Structure 1
Amino acid sequence: MLAAKPAGMRALPPVWPLALVTAAVAALLAVPAVTTPDWLDRLSLLVTGRPLAPAHAVVLALALGLVARGVLLRRRAAWYGLLVLIVMGLAAVLTGDDALWRLPLLVVALAAVWLSRDAFTVRPHHERIRTAVRTGAGLVVAAVVGSVLVGGVSIRSVGPAVAGGLGATGAPTDGASWLPGVLGLVGGVGLLVLVVTLLAPDPAPPPGDEIDRRRVAGLVRHPGSDTLAPFALRRDKSYVFSPDGAAAIGYRVLFGVAVAGGDPVGDPRSYGRAVDAFIEMCHRTGWRPAVLGASADVLPAWGRLRSFGFGDEVYVRPEEFSLSGRQMRNVRQAVKRTRNAGVTSEIVAERDLPPELRKRLLDVASRSLGGAAERGFSMNLDELLTGYHDGALVAIAYGENDEPIAFQRYATAGEGISLDAMRRAPGGPNGVNERLIVEMIEYAAKQGAGVVSLNFAAFRELLDSEDRKAVEKVGYKALHLLDPLIAVESLYLFDKKFRPAYRPRSVVFRSWFDIAWLAAALLTLEFGRTRPAARAEDAIAHPAGQFEHH
């Protein structure tokens, strides 16, 4: 139960009317570039004051279209852009270069933009500003160099030519007839690059440092932390803490989406405040907030964000687990086959692995994956077998000559033990994985762990259903055909043998308009290969001492 109801996304003044007007102005700017009725062409003069060349109109329309989107996303740079454009229009009217009848419209627009200033919470990142300055400087240098290299072109013509690409009407250029077009193209592209750069969200932050990670390790130890909590300790994650420091969220930023892995860790009474801190951070940086693997108990903390279930965490309660009964026959027989084959096993703390055994286990992992890289995000740790994650346990199976043939790594948390990696050498006897899971469950029961989390069953209800509708049949067929690549169905059938319980997990996101970016970010995080962080010299603090192996 959460102690405090989170505020969710902070209430801000609506910006869609301003975005709508900006988009309408962009449409009116583009009018001269297409064949239109005369009345619509005259209407465009409301915002231009004078006819524009088609190329200039299109460039400015595209730029203002981007600004309109930036207004919807509450980008501060979009607000500054609107302010500058209106002030420039006022200056043109007051200096006599434009019609005075446009003055009331500009004054009203200026007042509306100024009064909405507090709604624009996303300020441009200093790296974006530096990139924009360098881009602008590069355009000026290119224009000057181009003018010098072309004979008969006066320096005075460079400014109007580049300005023409930025939306002005341009000026005649002596000498090479192609230069105005080239400079105009460079200026137009440069303007769009500047706008896109300044409206972009903040770049991804660096991963949390070792001090933060030690803090998070202490929160993972909290009895209220659930079975996904240990995976917050991945070394590629950044962190945001609740104001009282009692809870934290581990996340990564990809494609402008800040993806939190599972629920917050730490004291459940502070989860709401950690969620508020995460949402507020996304407000400041322009990131789209998202969660992969939120539990049903914590979904209310995410307030007005949307969510949908995409599968279930598979877990077993050790005190309720037994190999007896007809339903456990397959598992019982699998364990018996390995014993008849002479397979032996042991459970050791990962940090206590001898170097030679560690080397042989890594070879098993490499052969198990066919040389592929380790992947995953929400239910996977990194630093396999290095001993960095000090609370990790390794269940090892040995074949003939005491040669390791399989192993499983488990991470420990306040609530229990979670399966992280399951590796078996090709050609190893069937039933080894079942045997190691059974022995870890028995070990967890002796250690007093309440839960052993096994795997994740994506789309479990679809796979488990016998009465599928037309769309569901298509989805099931796709999962079945793709199983050799993603192993969704085969992993579900494997887990089902243990008669487990299921905990629904959801994807949380801001808007359906974000769905394409969200899908790209989640698929890349779970299946894409990521560059590992620089290795630390020391292991982090033990996150779950109550499950120490003796």
Structure 2
Amino acid sequence: MTLNLALVGLGSVLLTSYTDEPLPRSTADWVQTLAPLVQPVAILVLLVVTRAKFDVSAPRGTYRRFAGLAAKALLICAVVYVWGAYLLRDQFEPTATIGGILTDLPTRFAPPGYLGAIETAVLPNGWLATMLHQWIGVIFWIVVLTGGLITFRKAIVERRASDRARARELLESHGGTSMAQMITWPGNDYWFSPDGQAVIAYRVISSVALTTGEPVGAPAARSAAAQEFSRFCVRNGWTPCFHSITDDLRQDLPSWNSVQVAEETVVPLKGLEFKGKKWQDIRTAMNKAKKSGVTAEWLSYADAPPWMSGQIKALSREWLADKGLPEMRFTLGGLDELADPDVRCLVAVDDKLHVHGVTSWLPVRDEGRIVAWTLDFMRRGPDAFPGVMEFLIASMVVRCRDEGSDYLSLSGAPLARLDRDGQTAPLQRLLDVVGKTLEPVYGFRSLLAFKAKFQPTYLPLYMAYPRVAALPSVGNAITKAYLPRITFRQDPWWRTWIWGPISAANREGPARRRNGTGV
């Protein structure tokens, strides 16, 4: 506002300069004369009317440091201009004097549009003097604008940190669904209900407010929070989209469209025993681990010894390099999410301190108590013994059963589901085709089949959106949320439909020639 007030003053000076001169005659002249005055006035009015919208404060001392930066930049630029112009005084008309340079100095930092009626004390006629005369103000404003952007960024980071801490308090006090811990992950913004009893984590991508699961907080406040959040999105011009929600929340949004996007597998723990033919693979994996001298170590990633954390990082890098794909984000955690002190790891380690595989587990809370755990991060080494993942999950099942946990969630398998009714809507059939197409790349259906070894209960997870017309933008937002840094060559559609057949043809060509069948 201070900057625009200064521009209003400059515009007034420009307008009053016509008292002794003929008034502008053409429309273009009037626009050139009035715009420097009208534009900052319009911005000032807009800022005053919408001042309630600016509810995010920067950290203490931000603007004091910003003012210091601007003052230093102004001083340095002024000294450089005066000193440089005096050294190049022969390249000015009339020949620059200290008095003329100082008189001209304020005009170097004013926008050129405000200088039309101001008589310039000196004018450059050499290329070096011209560069100094025209660019010293540009350099100053680049520094100031960059500093201003930094203050905005610091305000956002500070706000997210405080909001994340507040969201974590609600999560620890009231709990949520099996994937509620994901609201504490980086990248989320937070909306709090007016009474402060519920929070929704979301991220805005291409004007779509994509939620990370369901509302978290007091059970009685969750349903109302979903409705109020949708109104909040509409007021901001966003399309709300609830992603990975249970059927309970879907029923609370009866006028919305919905489609199943994943299948969650939940292992009931009460009285569970690995007995019978259906548990044969699990018993085999545990026996192999015992023979190989492999044990399951339960610890937080931050407390892991350097030799273990180093191997986990290397193992993860090798896994990603073998896939040739970017690591998926959003509801799929990676190494960054392991740093959360609430997250625990179960690591398969042999007697030679060699890491065979690792899994991470997110706590599930109910009214302040951890009642279950959810599987997130899974990585196995290239030389791990067969069945290492079965061993780690089975070890977690035994641990949680003995500790009295209610259940163990193996999380959701995206784009994979059970065929419950046999008749599905066109959009659901389209997602089934997408899941089948991407199976060679990401293996979502294979993941669901793997989890079936633990005899789970299946729970559908849905995506809810307000109108069908929003589907293209919603689909684009979800793709960017899961794959924010994907390259063209890494694109799964390219790999599946174009690069895959080309690679197969290249591999088959030499084989055919060796067999005498090629042309």
Normalised-by-shorter TM-score class: 0.5 to 0.7
Structure 1 residue aligned with 2:477: 521
Alignment of 1:380-529 (within 5 A): 380=333, 383-385=336-338, 387=339, 389-399=340-350, 401-414=352-365, 415-461=371-417, 479-529=435-485
Indicate if the aligned counterparts of 2:415 and 2:431 stay in contact, CA closer than 8 A.
no
Structure 1 residue aligned with 2:161: 210
Structure 2 residue aligned with 1:246: 197
Indicate if the aligned counterparts of 2:344 and 2:362 stay in contact, CA closer than 8 A.
yes
Indicate if the aligned counterparts of 2:360 and 2:375 stay in contact, CA closer than 8 A.
yes
Deviations 1:401-448 (A, max 9, x none): 111121111111204211110011112111101111111122222333
Per the TM alignment, residue 378 of structure 1 is displaced from its structure 2 partner at its CA by 2.6
Structure 2 residue aligned with 1:365: 316
Distance in 1 separating the partners of 2:411 and 2:405: 17
**Count of aligned residue pairs for this structure pair:** 334
Structure 2 residue aligned with 1:299: 250
Distance in 2 separating the partners of 1:393 and 1:304: 39
Q: 1:454 to 1:235 in 2, by over 3 A?
A: same
Indicate if the aligned counterparts of 1:347 and 1:396 stay in contact, CA closer than 8 A.
yes
Distance in 2 separating the partners of 1:243 and 1:469: 37
Q: 1:379 to 1:298 in 2, by over 3 A?
A: farther
Distance in 2 separating the partners of 1:381 and 1:211: 23
Distance in 2 separating the partners of 1:351 and 1:294: 30
Q: Does 1:225 align with 2:181?
A: no
- More displaced, 412-421 or 255-264? 412-421
Distance in 2 separating the partners of 1:391 and 1:469: 40
Alignment of 1:65-464 (within 5 A): 206=156, 209-370=160-321, 373-380=326-333, 383-385=336-338, 387=339, 389-399=340-350, 401-414=352-365, 415-461=371-417
Q: With structure 1 as the length reference, what TM-score do the two structures score?
A: 0.55
Indicate if the aligned counterparts of 1:253 and 1:259 stay in contact, CA closer than 8 A.
yes
Q: 1:473 to 1:412 in 2, by over 3 A?
A: closer
Structure number with greater Rg is: 2
Q: 1:474 to 1:487 in 2, by over 3 A?
A: same
Structure 2: which amino acid aligns with 1:250?
A: A
Q: 1:472 to 1:241 in 2, by over 3 A?
A: closer
Q: 1:332 to 1:410 in 2, by over 3 A?
A: same
SS in 1 for 2:358: strand
SS in 1 for 2:252: helix
Q: 1:259 to 1:394 in 2, by over 3 A?
A: same
Structure 1: which amino acid aligns with 2:389?
A: N
The unaligned stretches of length 5 or more in structure 2 are 1-49, 56-111, 117-154, 366-370, 487-519
Structure 2: which amino acid aligns with 1:376?
A: R
Q: 1:357 to 1:305 in 2, by over 3 A?
A: same
Indicate if the aligned counterparts of 2:357 and 2:389 stay in contact, CA closer than 8 A.
yes
Distance in 2 separating the partners of 1:511 and 1:469: 15
Indicate if the aligned counterparts of 1:463 and 1:476 stay in contact, CA closer than 8 A.
no
Indicate if the aligned counterparts of 2:178 and 2:374 stay in contact, CA closer than 8 A.
yes
Deviations 1:93-119 (A, max 9, x none): xxxxxxxxxxxxxxxxxxxxxxxxxxx
Q: 1:263 to 1:477 in 2, by over 3 A?
A: closer
**Pairwise CA RMSD of aligned residues?**
3.4
Distance in 1 separating the partners of 2:305 and 2:396: 21
Indicate if the aligned counterparts of 2:363 and 2:372 stay in contact, CA closer than 8 A.
yes
SS in 1 for 2:336: coil
Percent identical residues? 24
Deviations 1:200-220 (A, max 9, x none): xxxxx9565222111211222
Structure 1: which amino acid aligns with 2:195?
A: D
Per the TM alignment, residue 366 of structure 1 is displaced from its structure 2 partner at its CA by 1.2
